[in-house]
Amino acid sequence: MHTARTVIIEEFGGPEKMAVIRTELAPPATGQVQIRQTAIGFNYIDIYHRKGIYPLPLPSGLGYEAAGIVEAVGAEVDQFKPGDRVAYMNAGVGAYADCRNVPVERLLGIPDTVSDDEAAALLFKGMTAQYLLKRTHLVKPGEIILVHAAAGGVGQILCQWAKALGAFVIGTAGSEEKCAIARQAGCDITINYSDENWPAAMLEATGGKKANVVYDLVGKDTFLKSLDCTAQFGLVALYGAASGPAPAIEPDLLNKKGCLFLTRPSLFPHNADPAVCRANAADLFDAIAEGLVKANIGARFALDDIVEVHKAAESRATQGSTLIIP
């Protein structure tokens, strides 16, 4: 048996509901791999789970992604061996730990061109950007896209990658400081959406042109205005709710706004099949190796300081990606 440190919640609520405990970790079972984790990625969905917005059976671990080194393998595992560098983002909750057993079909080998920190910082967010740019809508050169929360972890990756694909990128953020970060991520135009009339500012900046695609992670505060910024026959991809759930609308509103398309996609269905997940990850790792996608790690926290991680994220004090170091 191996002693592991892991974060659990026994009830939903604020950051203080999380506790770091020591547990006995059994050897990896058949089809499992035991990983000594070197870097853990924080994602906003972790807060939704902690609060019970997306309820989990309690008690529960938290966290979806991490990178590390294979310590041991169970029976019938021949894809990996001890010492291999691996990462995952779709093995169920429980990534907030220093050591963990993971099903082998959910593991991805990390190429030499990508560091552990890059993998942990970019896998979940980068795979989100990958399906949004390549599957939800295949972004083509010359298209106009609008990225909300462009200074955030997913937002920066979306902007970098979309720019490399030849898109004209408009980014929104909640402060002038964050707009500057969005410009560094490749945005052609940035708009401060703390100004209530930000759609008018966007149209003025583009000479009246609207976006072919709007990528909306914010939800409640931006959704209805996102419809006003979408070109005729354009798509609104509502893939998150950082400010709260988007308001319900009558379907006819999409017609009135320009025969728009609306989708509410998510990461895990796009990567449920292990072979598809590996192909999507290879696409992301290639983009990292080519410098199209860069890890902007805004903060690193120790695992024992997990409460502070969530406090910083909820106060919107973080920028880019946040890593948790076991």
Domain map of the chain by residue range?
2-122+274-325, 141-264
Q: Which of 179, 188, 121, 118 is nearest to 150 (CA)?
A: 179
**CB burial string 236-264: b at 16+ within 10 A, e below:** bbbbbbbbeebeeeeeeebeebeebebee
pLDDT digits (tens, 9 = 90+) for 206-217: 999 999 999 999
Please state which CATH number belongs to domain 141-264: 3.40.50.720
d(CA 248, CA 209): 26
Q: Which CATH architecture has domain 2-122+274-325?
A: Alpha-Beta Complex (3.90)
Kindly give the pairing relationship between strand 60-61 and strand 211-216.
Answer: unpaired
261 close to 235: Cβ distance less than 8 angstroms: yes
Phi-psi region of 67 (alpha: psi -120 to 50; beta: other; left: phi over 0): beta
User: What's residue 244's pLDDT?
Assistant: 85
User: What's residue 240's pLDDT?
Assistant: 87
Burial class (CB in 10 A: 0-12, 13-18, 19+), 201: middle
Residue 203: strand, helix, or coil = helix
d(CA 67, CA 86): 6
User: What's residue 148's pLDDT?
Assistant: 97
d(CA 113, CA 111): 5
User: What's residue 316's pLDDT?
Assistant: 74
User: What's residue 185's pLDDT?
Assistant: 93
325 close to 300: Cβ distance less than 8 angstroms: yes
What does the block give as tokens for 295?
């890890």
What value does the mean pLDDT of the chain take?
Answer: 94
> For residues 80, 127, 163 and 44, what is the CA-based torsion angle, rounded to 10 degrees?
-130
List of the chain residues with pLDDT < 70: none
User: What's residue 44's pLDDT?
Assistant: 85
d(CA 6, CA 293): 30
Question: pTM score > 0.95 for this model?
Answer: no
